[in-house]
Amino acid sequence: MGLAICNTTTDSYGRELALHGTALFPIACYHDDLTTCPVPWHWHDELEVLVVTEGSAVVTAGSEKRILHHGDGCFINTGVLHGAWDFENSGCRFHSLVFHARLVGGSMDSIFWQNYIQPLMQNPTLKFVCFDASEFWMQEANNSIETAWENCMLETPGYEFAVRDALSHLIFLLSTHHPSVPQHTSDKALRNAERIKIMLQYVQEHYTGEINTAQIAESALISESECLRCFRATIGTTPIQYVKQFRIQKAAELLTSTNQKIADIAAQCGFFDVSYFTKTFREQKGCTPGEYRKIQ
């Protein structure tokens, strides 16, 4: 297996399209460098775990945002909208694993699935769990993630057993320290989750042209005020700020992967004033587009 290339592409609803692993061994192993490639907002059916190996990261899942430092880790449940960015130009890198629940749980009629996997995926308190050094079990969780990652990368004989064993221990730790508690997810929260996916889809399809809050709101058939509230409640920013962030992300990708002129990249990413593009790029990346291209 070894390391897979981190290239987050999504469908029109923000659902990631990448195949993580194979049908026989459904897991992929990544080494993410957030200085060159932040993880944009997306979601997938698989479970995800990560451990920060350098610097610090801002990781957001659903409506929660946490800063993870070197040695910290986290778990992201199935279907949760999430993203990750370098924190204050710290040079963040992390190890991550994206895997289907059946890797650990087996078939849906198994005791592993029914006693551990299904309760975990349906537990509303387990959408996003961070692991630091404050408790011993959290250190164990991070060690399990690193053990699974290293075995995936090295592929020594029998590594599949070692990977499954480490992830099984992680699931057991989560189940033990976050027991399933019946909790009703409000209709409002469910509506917000669906609306934000539709609105992110609209931005991703129209970011190259003129776009405003009214258009984004109309895509989800809601008012502008409800659109603003939904963005702030779910991803912690305004619609227009998200548009700028998405455009700069796309511009950064083009700066490092093509030889296009900076003015052409600006226009291609929805910035028709090069000076405004440069100002916005500097605000988000800490340098000009030209400087960014040279240092990557």
Phi, psi angles (nearest 5°) of residue 152:
-65, -40
- pLDDT category of residue 8 using cuts at 50, 70 and 90: low
Q: How far apart are the first and last CA of the chain?
A: 27
Helices (H), the chain: 102-105, 111-112, 118-122, 136-154, 159-177, 187-206, 213-219, 224-235, 239-257, 262-268, 274-285, 289-295
Token pair of 70 as six digits? 């070197």
Residue 79 confidence (pLDDT): 86
Q: What is the pLDDT of residues 103-129, one digit of tens each?
A: 999 887 789 988 899 888 888 788 899
Helix, strand and coil in the chain, % to nearest 5: 50, 20, 35
Residue in 134, 133, 38 with CA at minimum distance from that of residue 92: 38
Burial class (CB in 10 A: 0-12, 13-18, 19+), 99: buried
Residue in 282, 281, 272, 190 with CA at minimum distance from that of residue 233: 190
> Which pTM does this prediction carry?
0.67
Token pair of 176 as six digits? 């033990």
Q: What is the DSSP letter of 43?
A: B
Q: What is the pLDDT of residues 214-257, one digit of tens each?
A: 999 999 999 999 999 888 877 767 899 889 988 998 998 899 88
pLDDT value at 264 more than 90: yes
pLDDT value at 5 more than 70: no
Q: What is the mean pLDDT of residues 16-25?
A: 67
Residue with more model confidence, 135 or 294: 135
CB atoms within 10 A of CB 169: 17
Distances in Å between the Cα of 120 and the Cα atoms of 40, 114, 129, 239 are 25, 10, 12, 32
Burial class (CB in 10 A: 0-12, 13-18, 19+), 7: exposed
In DSSP terms, 208 is beta-bridged to none
